[in-house]
């Protein structure tokens, strides 16, 4: 019997938060679940994020493996580079999320990331950040030059070191391949959520709602209520437990 991806259920929510415009974009459909955050301070951020997720839409329903996911992210980079700009600052965006597929005979999550939006996995009621932030502050923390507790308040916390577009000629996305366990809950979110809510609060909100749409709604509402100064987007996807065979 060939391996299959478990049944998935998902939900998504977004809000402009403390901004007049929402430069976040998302895609949540069948086996592709991603968010993108137009980089602040760059022209046409909302166009850049929309272009990135639109480039990944052809993957939906194809259960693509890591090679196709990587190629799609590179194509998204080129699509963002093609977005016109009226200034010298080129449009840019982050991109992160998960794609469900069967890889080497095993149902897997392919986690992708460029920038400082994040993807988390909650397995066994424990929340873990899967992605690594591509930011100046994350590099300072990793190098032992900045205490982790100081990172949320550092003036460089929003300076990304890797993005789609933004003037870079090439991009190297991070890809992580992990076996899917029935009961997994995955979260892809923009930094409007993680800058506002600590991981412990994110974990609590994910645990408080069985339905993934309710969980996404709770996360975004909690961030907005806590005074989010940026756009807030969350996509929650569950791998459903196997049905019991009687």
Residues 16-62 pLDDT 10s = 999 999 999 999 999 999 999 998 655 688 999 999 999 999 999 99
- Average pLDDT estimate for 143-163: 69
More confident residue, 143 or 92: 92
- Whether pLDDT at 246 is above 50: no
97: its two tokens: 């999320």
Which secondary-structure segment (H or E) carries 224? helix 212-225
Whole-number average pLDDT of the chain: 90
pLDDT at res. 167: 82
pTM of the complete model: 0.92
CB 95 within 8 A of CB 26: no
pLDDT at res. 152: 65
Which secondary-structure segment (H or E) carries 13? strand 8-15
More confident residue, 99 or 88: 99
CB 20 within 8 A of CB 4: no
pLDDT at res. 166: 86
Cα distances (Å, whole numbers) of residue 55 to 32, 40, 118, 125: 12, 21, 19, 33
CB 46 within 8 A of CB 53: no
- Average pLDDT estimate for 202-211: 97
Nearest to 95 by CA among 128, 64, 126, 57: 57
pLDDT at res. 155: 62
Q: Phi then psi for 107, rounded to 5 degrees?
A: -60, 125
Binned at pLDDT 50, 70 and 90, residue 184 comes out as: very high
Maximum separation of any 2 CA atoms in the chain, in Å: 65
Residues 3-12 pLDDT 10s = 789 999 999 9
* CA 118 from centre of chain: 5
- Average pLDDT estimate for 227-246: 84
Q: Which residue, chain included where needed, has tokens 């987007």? A: 233
Cα distances (Å, whole numbers) of residue 193 to 65, 129, 225: 28, 13, 11
240: its two tokens: 């459903």
More confident residue, 43 or 83: 83
- Average pLDDT estimate for 126-143: 80
């Amino acid at each position: 019997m060939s391996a299959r991806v478990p049944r998935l259920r998902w939900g998504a929510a977004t809000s402009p938060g403390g901004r007049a415009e929402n430069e976040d974009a998302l895609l949540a459909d069948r086996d592709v679940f991603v968010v993108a955050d137009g980089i602040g301070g760059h022209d046409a951020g909302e166009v850049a994020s929309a272009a990135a997720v639109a480039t990944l839409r052809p993957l939906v329903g194809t259960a693509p493996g890591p090679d196709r996911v990587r190629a799609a992210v590179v194509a998204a980079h080129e699509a963002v580079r093609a977005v016109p700009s009226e200034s010298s600052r080129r449009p840019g965006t982050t991109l992160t999320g998960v794609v469900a597929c069967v890889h080497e005979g095993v149902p897997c999550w392919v986690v992708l990331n460029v920038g400082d939006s994040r993807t988390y996995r909650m397995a066994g009621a424990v929340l873990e950040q899967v992605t690594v932030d591509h930011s100046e502050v994350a590099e300072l923390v990793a190098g032992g030059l900045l205490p982790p507790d100081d990172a949320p308040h550092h003036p460089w916390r929003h300076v990304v070191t890797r993005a789609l577009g933004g003037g870079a000629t090439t991009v190297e996305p991070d890809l992580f391949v992990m076996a899917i366990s029935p009961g997994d809950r995955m979260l892809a979110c923009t930094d409007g959520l993680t800058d506002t809510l600590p991981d412990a609060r994110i974990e609590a909100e994910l645990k408080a709602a069985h339905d993934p749409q309710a969980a996404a709604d709770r996360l975004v509402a909690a961030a907005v209520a806590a005074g989010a100064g940026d756009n807030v987007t969350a996509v929650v996807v569950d791998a459903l437990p196997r049905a019991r065979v009687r």
